[in-house]
Structure 1
C-alpha cells in the first residue's frame, strides 16, 4: 500500500481546491494523511486521516517555522510515507527541508511533489514588497527551493507556464522536474449554465474571492459606488473573511457599504453563479489560475478581470470577458466602469461571451477529473518509479 502525506498551509484552501485529489488517492487504495494549518477541520469521513498543524501563513516566523520543520520531521520518521505532496510555499520550504532531513536519517519519502498554485505577494515578479525583511525572505526561499529541486525524486507543479518559466529563468528548478497543471479543476456536474440564458435586469455583477484588497475588492467597491442608485446594475460580494491577513477588507465595512450587497461566505457557489451575469476579479498579485474564473466559465458567465498571467489562462479579452490593466484601485475602477458601461449598452454581449467561456472550459484541461489524474500519476506512478534502482522518470515540461 502506498503511503502518502499531504501538507497544505490552510485547511479552507485544501477543502476548496485539493480535497478531490485526496479522495481519488484514497479510492486507489493509498493510505493518505492530510496535515493542514488554518482552521481545524471536522473529522474526515472519506477514508483519509487529518492532523492539524499551526502554520504562519503571512510571514516567516523563526520560532513557529522551526516547529513546523520539527513536527514534519517527526511525522515523516514515524509514518514513513512513500510520497509527500507539499502545497503552497511555506510547506514547500519548511516541510520540504524536513523531508530531506528524514531521507538523510534513512526513512524519508522517496517522492516529494511540490505544488505552487501562484507565486503570491512575496514571490511574484510584480510584487511591490521592498522591505529589507521581504528581500531577505525571498533570498532564503530562493536558496531553499533551489536546493530542494536539486534532489532526486522532487517534482514541482505550477498552474501557469509563466510562473514556471519565472522559476526556470531564475534557476530555481529544472525543466525536467516541473510540470504545468491547469488550476485545481472544476466539476462540470456541479458548475453548469443556467437553463435560462436570458440576461437579467438588473445586471448582477459578482465578486467572489477572499476578502482582500490585493484581490481588487477595494477597486470593486469603488466601481460599485459609481453606479450607486442605478437600477440597471447590482453589485454582489461573496467571500471568506481573512481575520489575520494584514491585507484584509473588514467585513463590517462591507456590511455597511450601501453600494454593494454583501453575502458573506456562500455554500452554494454553483447556484450563485447561475444567478449572476458577470464575475469580476480585479486581482493585483501573483495568482495561479483563479478558481472562480474557471467556475464562471463552466457556468457560462463572462469575466471582468486583470491582465495577469493566471487570469489570462482562462479569460480571453473580447472573447469570454474583458481584461483590464493592473494598477491602483482608482485606475482599475475607471477601467471596470468603462467595461461595465459597454456591457450595459449591449446586454447580449454578456450572453455571447458566457457561451464562449463555456466552450473554452470544455476544450481546455480544466475539468476536475483531468486535473486529479495528473496529480495521482505524479504521486503514485512516478513515486513508484522513484523507489526503484533508477532515477524517477519525470514528466516532460
Structure 2
C-alpha cells in the first residue's frame, strides 16, 4: 500500500481547493495522512487521517518555523510515507527540507511533490516588498527551493506558465521537474449555469475572495460608491475574513458600507454564482488561477478581472469578460466603473460573454477530474493509477 502525506498551510484552503485529490488518492487504495495549519479541522471522513500543525502563514517566524521542520521530520521518520505533497510556500520550504533530511536519516519519502498555487506577496516578480527582512526571506526561500530542486524525486507544479517560467528563468527549478496544472479543479456538477440566464435588473456584481486589499476589495468598494443610489446595479461582497493578515479589509467596515451588500463567508457558492450577472476580481495579488474566476466561467458568468498572469488564464478580454490594468485602488476603481458602464449600456453582452466563458471552461483542463488525475499520477505509480482510471487522460 502506498503511503502518502499531504501538508498544507491552511485547513480552510485545503478543504476548498485540495480535498478532492486526497479523496481520489484514498480511492486508489493509498494510505493518506493530511497535515494542515490554520483552524483545527473536524473529524475527517473515512479514508484518510488528519493532524493539525500550527504554521505561521504571514511571515517567517524562527520558533514556529523550526517547529514545522521538527514535527515534519518526526512524522516522516515515524510514518515513513512513500510520497509527500507539499502545498503552498511554507510547507514547500520547511517540510521539504525535513523530507530531504529524513532521507539522509534513512526514512524519507522517495517522491516529493511541491505545489505552488501562486507566487503570492513575497515571491511574485511584481512584489513591492522592499524591507531588508523581506529581501532576506526571499533569498533564503530561493536558496531552499534551488536546493530542493537539485534532489532526486522532487517535482514542482504551478497553476500558470508565467510562474513556472519565472522560477525557471531564475534557476530555481528545471524543466525536467516542473509541470503546469490549470488550477485546483472545479466540479461542473456543482458549478453550472442557471436554467434561465436572462439579464436581471438590477445587474448583480459579485466580489468573492479573501477580504484583502491586495485582492482588489478596496477598488471594488470605491467603484460601488460611485453607483450609490443607482437602482440598475447592485454590489455584493462574499469572502473569508483573515483576522491575522496585515492586508485585511476590516469586516466591520464592510458591514457599515452602504454601497455594498456584505454576505460574509458563503458556503453555497454555486447557488450564489447562479444568481449574479458579473464577477469582479480586481486583484493586485500574486495569483495562481483564481478559483472564483474558474467557478464563474463554469457557471456562465462573465468576469471583470485584472490583466495579470493567472487571471489571463481563464479570462479573455472582450470574449468572456473584461481585463483592466493593474494600479492603485483609485485607478482600478475608475477602470471598473468604465467596464460596468459598458455592460449597463449593453446588458446582452453579459449573456454573450457568459456563454463564451462556459465554452472556455469546457474546452480547457479546468475540470476537477482532469486536475485531480494529474496530481494522482504524480503521486501514485502510473500503472496503478491507469488501472483504476483507464478512460482519463492528461490531455
* TM-score (ref. length: structure 1): 0.96
User: Which residue is equivalent to 1:276?
Assistant: 276
User: Which residue is equivalent to 2:390?
Assistant: none
1:1-397 to 2 correspondences below 5 Å: 1-381=1-381
Cα gap change, 1:252 to 1:383, in 2 (>3 Å): farther
**Distance in 2 between residues matched to 1:35 and 1:213, nearest whole Å:** 29
**Distance in 2 between residues matched to 1:150 and 1:245, nearest whole Å:** 33
**Distance in 1 between residues matched to 2:326 and 2:58, nearest whole Å:** 23
**Distance in 2 between residues matched to 1:118 and 1:155, nearest whole Å:** 16
Please, which runs of 5 or more residues in structure 2 have no aligned partner?
Answer: 385-393
Structure 1 residue ranges (4+ consecutive) displaced by more than 6 angstroms after TM superposition = none
User: Which residue is equivalent to 1:390?
Assistant: none
* TM-score (ref. length: structure 2): 0.97
SS at match of 1:33: strand
**Distance in 1 between residues matched to 2:6 and 2:214, nearest whole Å:** 28
**Distance in 1 between residues matched to 2:131 and 2:323, nearest whole Å:** 30
SS at match of 2:237: strand
State the aligned residue count: 387
Cα gap change, 1:118 to 1:176, in 2 (>3 Å): same
The 10-residue stretch of structure 1 (304-313 or 40-49) with the greater mean CA deviation from structure 2:
40-49
CA offsets 1:334-368 (integer angstroms, 9 cap, x no match):
00000000000000000000000000000000000
Cα RMSD, aligned residues only: 1.4
- Return the offset for 1:285: 1.7
- Return the offset for 1:197: 1.1
**Distance in 1 between residues matched to 2:327 and 2:86, nearest whole Å:** 32
Aligned 8 A contact 1:110 1:383 in 2: no
The 10-residue stretch of structure 1 (375-384 or 333-342) with the greater mean CA deviation from structure 2:
375-384
CA offsets 1:297-348 (integer angstroms, 9 cap, x no match):
0000000000000000000000000000010000000000000000000000
User: Which residue is equivalent to 1:392?
Assistant: none
SS at match of 1:136: helix
CA offsets 1:225-273 (integer angstroms, 9 cap, x no match):
0000000000000000000000000111100000000000001000000
Aligned 8 A contact 1:203 1:277 in 2: yes
SS at match of 2:222: helix
